[in-house]
């Protein structure tokens, strides 16, 4: 397994954002899943402020029944509440984890902030044990910063 080329992937995402296709978020999900071997499910959850819940947006990977998640519930809901990235290297160790499948072993969730407020998040599940590094965190934070104006 080769180390992911985050610099190359970031450049491709930057070009996508500049081009501004209608399905930008789906294209980013697809690119991330293709470019990084340990990204097995990649999707966006978007905040519905009125209902105080996350709504599943574009994603690639196995379908999930978790299309609506209350703010504060599970890893995604905790990120929505805190506005802070969460990296979970072993999902079995998280008390209120919402399982999307038995094969998921780890997860990283990165917030998209607009004017200092949480608006959406990038959720990535991995079937690999403890694959996420600080490089993943930095790369995905930069990707989410690019997307502020999409929400």
- Domains parsed from the chain with CATH numbers: 6-150 (3.30.450.40)
Summarised one tens digit per residue, pLDDT across range 124-150 is 999 999 999 999 999 999 999 999 999
Burial 138-148 (b: 16+ CB within 10 A, else e): ebbeebbebbe
Rounded to two decimals, what is the model's pTM?
0.94
| Token pair belonging to 47 | 């905040």
56-114 pLDDT tens trace:
999 999 999 999 999 999 999 999 999 999 999 998 887 776 666 678 899 999 999 99
């Amino acid at each position: 397994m080769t180390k992911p080329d985050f610099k190359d992937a970031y450049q491709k995402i930057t070009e996508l954002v500049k081009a501004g296709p209608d399905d930008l978020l789906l294209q980013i999900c697809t690119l991330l899943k293709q470019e990084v071997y340990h990204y097995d499910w990649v999707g966006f959850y978007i905040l519905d402020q009125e209902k105080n819940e996350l709504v599943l947006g574009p994603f690639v990977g196995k379908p999930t029944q978790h299309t609506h998640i209350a703010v504060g519930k599970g890893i995604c809901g905790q990120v929505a509440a805190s506005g802070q990235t969460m990296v979970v290297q072993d999902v079995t160790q998280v008390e209120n984890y919402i399982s999307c499948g038995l094969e998921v072993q780890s997860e990283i969730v990165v917030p998209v902030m607009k004017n200092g407020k949480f608006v959406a998040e990038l959720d990535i599940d991995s079937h690999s044990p403890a694959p996420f590094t600080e490089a993943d965190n930095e790369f995905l934070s930069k990707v989410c910063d690019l997307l502020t104006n999409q929400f």
